[in-house]
Amino acid sequence: MSQINTANMKVVEGSYAVAHAVMCCKPDVISAYPITPQTHIVEHLSQMVANGELDSEFLTVDSEFSALSVLVGASAMGARSYSSTTSQGLALMYEVLYNVSGMRMPVVMNVANRAMGAPLNIWNDQQDAVGARDVGWLQIYVEDVQEAVDATLQAYKIAEDPQIRMPIMVCMDGFVLTHVYEPVELLDKELASQYLPAFQPEKILDPAKPITFGAFADPSTYTEFRYQQFDAQLKSMAKIEKAAKEFEETFGRHYGGLVDSYFADDAEVVIVTMGSVIGTIKDAIDAMRKEGKKVGLVKVRSYRPFPVQALRQALKGASVIAVIEKDVSIGAEAGLVTDLKSAFYNSKIRMPIIGFAAGLGGRDITIKDIRKIVDKAEAARKGIESEFEFLDLRTEIL
Amino acid sequence: MEKSLLAPGHRACAGCAMPTTIRLVLDAAGPNTIVVSPTGCLEVTTTPFPESSWCVPWIHSLFENASAVASGVEVMLKRQKKDTNVVIIGGDGSTFDIGMGCNSGMFERGHKILYVCYDNEAYMNTGVQRSGSTPFCAQTTTTPPGSRSKGNPRPKKDMPAIALAHKVPYVATASVAYPVDLRKKVKAALQVDGPSYIQVNAPCITGWSFDAGTMIELSRLAVETGLWPLAEWVNGELAGVKKIRRPKPVKDYLEIQGRYKHLFKKNDCGDQLAKIQAIADANMAKYKLVD
Amino acid sequence: MDIKAGRLVDPCSTRLTKTGAWRTFVPVFDQDKCIKCSLCEIYCPEGCIHQVDGLFVPDLDYCKGCSVCAHECPRMAISMVLEEK
Ligand SMILES: Cc1ncc(C[n+]2csc(CCOP(=O)(O)OP(=O)(O)O)c2C)c(N)n1
Ligand SMILES: [Mg+2]
């Protein structure tokens, strides 16, 4: 990560920092429904609207399903639209998620990642968003509050690009990032407006030029709708890189575009992961490097689109890869490890890839855990014992 | 130049009441209108990509979210300081059942939106399954008559009362057979600064099973028997009722529809007929339909 | 077909589909009996009956032959006739 100007830093709650970023994006319509741990974001936004700091239409609705549906209508009217949710709320939106991407509406939503029930659990993992990886939304996973702030602004730039016009989830770990107080540089409103020009929709619902949105498509055209979404996701990779680069030029901060690396170049064991656990992993890597262990990290920032080429490039030197992720595909393995394996299958690059479901339902992932994973990865170089496992399984309560 | 705001070439069944209902609504609302529709026969028959029958801006998203989508449209119109009508036109399934949450939210938030339900009393698009609007004893594919069934076991849900409970300032019932009344009600609804709800009786040839030519006659009979009172509520008060000059027995209405055929085949359905007549009689008394 | 632009569909475009092909019976108007009440035009589900040069005529490109017009005509000026095709 690049230099941060500490002079402009303020200690604020993660949710406030993100709400402030949203304010700088000047959305026309905000529609959201409260759910832990996302609530503080929308509470802060409500207050900003109430104070007159933010000139947005804020709709308090009857459900997350309605919240996102409101944005379908608003977006069709040319609105820059915002929502935020997590877990059960995201699941309740599921049908609308497909609709927003199918109608190519550039909605931006912060997902405060949280476990899915049952059993009910309000703590952080990433099951909610990873479970929605196929709905057509771009998904950016952030590492810390500062990145959550910056990625929110970048998200509008990518989503509203005339060649993309796709919705984006900015995924931030619930509680870990939403409720933490840490020093962040809040966005400068002027600079944000420079970076993100006003949304220019080509066509809107307008009696002067009546058009039909959301017609039904039969087998003779449906495939082409899907293909165009697919194509837009692939094209968005360049836009994600560009948005990150332009952001760096304007604000001086950079987190990588599609992926980012930490000591990965000469590493033998490379950990691949997403989200806030990266902080712990970096600390573990620092310690292990001191001991002479060649351990590195590749952070997947963009999970959708899945950056196959960027990952092949970043990981080509690794002797073994350990994927740590806070989700599980019940009955298979887990999202990231499966996608990563498939990224390598048809390439000439081969190394063992093992996966760990960790931090489910908010369980801590410690430096000790990371060391354990690295040990297992090293052992896997000689032969894989287990391709995928639940980290820290408490066998005594099974 | 189109003479109406719904173009021909739509794929609705011959003799369907829904397109006529839409045209009457659009006649009254005029071209400065944005229409939002849920999934259902309307959406499938009027917007087969890459064609559309709509000559006004129109949007469909899902089966159960038209009210929320329309809310988003309406707040943006206000923000853009545009004075354009927002009209939802949806079937009874989305209105009475699956869209209830969004409808309740829209009513409660007080958006200036006219909600028109074309009520064909079942889920027609998926093949005539029962909805909350299906009347007592009607046959649908999920309430088939049989040795243990006389058709739909429950009476129709009172959706206008639900709208009224939300303090919706303008609520009305109408019928495709009474075009002057329907247009007048649409115009009145669009004058209201808030939500409004109009429920239009709209026979479905496939689901109700009748001779196509009798579509309008059937809807008229629904009114003349007292099964479909034409009423209007302004600010919660009953403000107008269409009187029936010569009330007809419900039998006249029921016996020409396939969905009630079983009531006339079996000898043991006399009770059912009497119960349906009682529903009509209760409406007559409640709304003072006959002078 | 430009599908990307076509995600949004042009208004009134079902006119491209001539649903008259569905028809078995065709309405025949006896203009002498017509009193110009316009009920046929109002009730027609296709919206395909309009006044042309003062006379009400169905647009047979779209008429599906449902016979609502014939049934509702107060003067019985419309009859449904089996169409030779
Ligand atoms: C969530 C969801 N559930 C079910 C369906 C299937 N479905 C589509 S239309 C429909 C019935 C529509 O009934 P109604 O609203 O009365 O309209 P109609 O077709 O009768 O005009 C159903 C059940 C759907 N599209 N979405
Ligand atoms: Mg229906």
DSSP one-letter string for B240-277: EEPPPSS---HHHHHTT-GGGHHHHHSGGGHHHHHHHH
197-226 in chain B: CB under 8 A from chain C: 211-217
Which residue type sits at A335?
Answer: G
Question: Is there a contact between B214 and C71 if contact means CB atoms under 8 Å apart?
Answer: yes
pLDDT of residue C9: 86
Chain A positions in Cβ-Cβ contact with residue C7 (cut-off 8 Å): 103-104, 213, 225
Residue of B39, B121, B206 best suited for mutating to test ligand 1, as the one with most atoms within 8 Å of CB: B39
Distance from C-alpha of C8 to C-alpha of B265, rounded to nearest angstrom: 50
Asked if the Cβ–Cβ distance from C11 to B54 is below 8 Å, we say yes
Distance of residue A228 Cα from the nearest chain C Cα, in angstroms: 7
Q: Contacts of residue A66 in chain B, CB cutoff 8 Å?
A: 65, 67-68, 71, 101-102, 105
Give the other-Cβ count within 10 Å of B246's Cβ: 6
Protein residue whose Cα sits closest to atom 1 of ligand 1: B63
Q: How far from chain centre, in Å, is Cα A127?
A: 12
Q: Do C9 and B8 touch (CB under 8 A)?
A: no
Using pLDDT thresholds of 50, 70 and 90, give the confidence band for residue C84: confident
Q: How would DSSP label each residue in B156-182?
A: PP-HHHHHHHTT-SEEEEEETT-HHHH
Residues in chain A within 8 Å Cβ distance of B60:
213-216
**Which two tokens mark A227?**
């293909």
State how far residue C30 is from chain A, nearest Cα, in angstroms: 38
Q: Does B33 touch chain C (CB under 8 A)?
A: no
Closest Cβ opposite residue A29 in set B32, B67, B76:
B76
Asked if the Cβ–Cβ distance from C67 to B179 is below 8 Å, we say: no
Chain C CB contacts of A78 under 8 Å are: none
Q: Going residue by residue through chain B (291 aa), what tens digit of pLDDT does each one get?
A: 578 999 999 999 999 999 999 999 999 999 999 999 999 999 999 999 999 999 999 999 999 999 999 999 999 999 999 999 999 999 999 999 999 999 999 999 999 999 999 999 999 999 999 999 999 999 999 999 999 999 999 999 999 999 999 999 999 999 999 999 999 999 999 999 999 999 999 999 999 999 999 999 999 999 999 999 999 999 999 999 999 999 999 999 999 999 999 999 866 677 899 999 999 999 999 999 998
8 Å CB contact of B14 and C65: yes
C-alpha Rg value of chain A to the nearest Å: 21
Query: Which of C1, C4, C8 lies at the smallest CB-CB distance from A213?
Result: C8
Mutate to test the interface with B, among A28, A31, A61 (most CBs of B within 10 A): A61
**Which of A100, A206, A224 is the best substitution to test chain C (most C C-beta atoms within 10 A)?**
A224
Distance, in Å, from the CA atom of A208 to the CA atom of B56, rounded to the nearest integer, reads: 9
Closest residue (by CA) to atom 4 of ligand 1? B63
Which pLDDT value is given to residue A5? 65
B109 in contact with A, Cβ within 8 Å? yes
pTM over 0.90: yes
Domains of chain A: 6-251 (3.40.50.970), 259-397 (3.40.50.920)
To the nearest 10°, the Cα dihedral for C56, C59, C64, C69? 0
State the nearest Cα–Cα gap between B165 and chain A, in angstroms.
Answer: 17
- Which pair of tokens denotes residue A179? 């409720």
Put simply, the answer to whether C43 touches B179 (Cβ < 8 Å) is yes
Q: Which residues of A touch B51 (CB under 8 A)?
A: 215
Using the Cβ of B31 and the Cβ atoms of chain C, whether some distance falls under 8 Å is answered with no
Indicate if ipTM > 0.85. yes
Whether the CB of C84 is below 8 Å from some CB of chain A: the reply is no
Q: Nearest-CA residue of chain A relative to B99?
A: A66
What is the structure's pLDDT at A1?
Answer: 46
Distance between CA atoms of residues C50 and B287, nearest Å: 37
Using an 8 Å CB-CB cutoff, list chain B residues near A95: 62
Q: Which domains can be identified in chain C, with CATH numbers?
A: 19-82 (3.30.70.20)
Determine the pLDDT at residue C65: 98
> Which residue in chain C is spatially nearest to B60 when comparing CA positions?
C8
Number of H helices, E strands in chain A: 13, 16
**Res A3: pLDDT:** 53
Other CB atoms within 10 A of residue B235 CB: 13
Quick one: DSSP state of residue B269?
G
- The first and second tokens of residue B119, run together, are 């009520």
Taking only the tens of pLDDT, chain A with its 398 residues reads 445 567 789 999 999 999 999 999 999 999 999 999 999 999 999 999 999 999 999 999 999 999 999 999 999 999 999 999 999 999 999 999 999 999 999 999 999 999 999 999 999 999 999 999 999 999 999 999 999 999 999 999 999 999 999 999 999 999 999 999 999 999 999 999 999 999 999 899 999 999 999 999 999 999 999 999 999 999 999 999 999 999 999 999 998 899 999 999 999 999 999 999 999 999 999 999 999 999 999 999 999 999 999 999 999 999 999 999 999 999 999 999 999 999 999 999 999 999 999 999 999 999 999 999 999 999 999 999 999 999 999 999 99
Q: Is A70 an interface residue toward B (CB < 8 Å)? A: yes
Six token digits for residue A47: 């207050």
Q: Which of C9, C10, C45 sits opposite B15 (nearest CB)?
A: C45
Q: Which domains does chain B have, with CATH numbers?
A: 18-287 (3.40.50.970)
For A223, nearest residue in chain C (alpha carbons)? C3
Query: What are B88's two structure tokens?
Result: 């939802």
